[in-house]
Amino acid sequence: MNILAITWDWSAFDGFALTIGIVGILVVFLALLFLSVIYRIIPKIMQLNIKHTTKKTQPQTPSTDINVDFMSGEVNAAISCALHLYFNDLHDYESNVLTVNTKEIRRQSPWSDKHQFLNQISK
């Protein structure tokens, strides 16, 4: 077989093939479009009830300057990191054990061992 000499049989591209392709593309789009529409609606329905109850119970507060809807990636990352550390107990823990060394530690070393000195240490 000569791979470079590929022959295209255009007669195979018939009505059946065209139907499968077009119906397939349309159904995939419709399925995901339908899901997308549902997911656009669901949060609104869920928040509708919450807003309704909060309006009844709380007086309207003046709007603040902080834009809650838009937060930069760095802020999101910092919050995520803090939550991750908190929920997974990854933050630093102190041992909470206080110890006081009462004895002075004297390390023996040839550099400071008076028994190995040739000369007397001047006093």
* Chain positions contacting another protein, by CB under 8 A: 1, 3, 6-10, 12-13, 16-17, 20-21, 23-25, 27-40, 42-43, 46, 69-73, 76
CB of 66 to another protein, least distance (A): 15
**For residue 17, what are its two tokens?**
């093939």
Structural contact between residues 85 and 91, judged by C-beta atoms closer than 8 angstroms: yes
CB of 12 to another protein, least distance (A): 4
CB of 78 to another protein, least distance (A): 13
Task: Rank residues 80 and 112 by Cβ distance to another protein and give the closer one.
Answer: 80
Task: Rank residues 44 and 106 by Cβ distance to another protein and give the closer one.
Answer: 44
DSSP conformation letters of 38-87: HHHHHHHHHHHHHHHHHHHHSPPPPPPS--SS---HHHHHHHHHHHHHHH
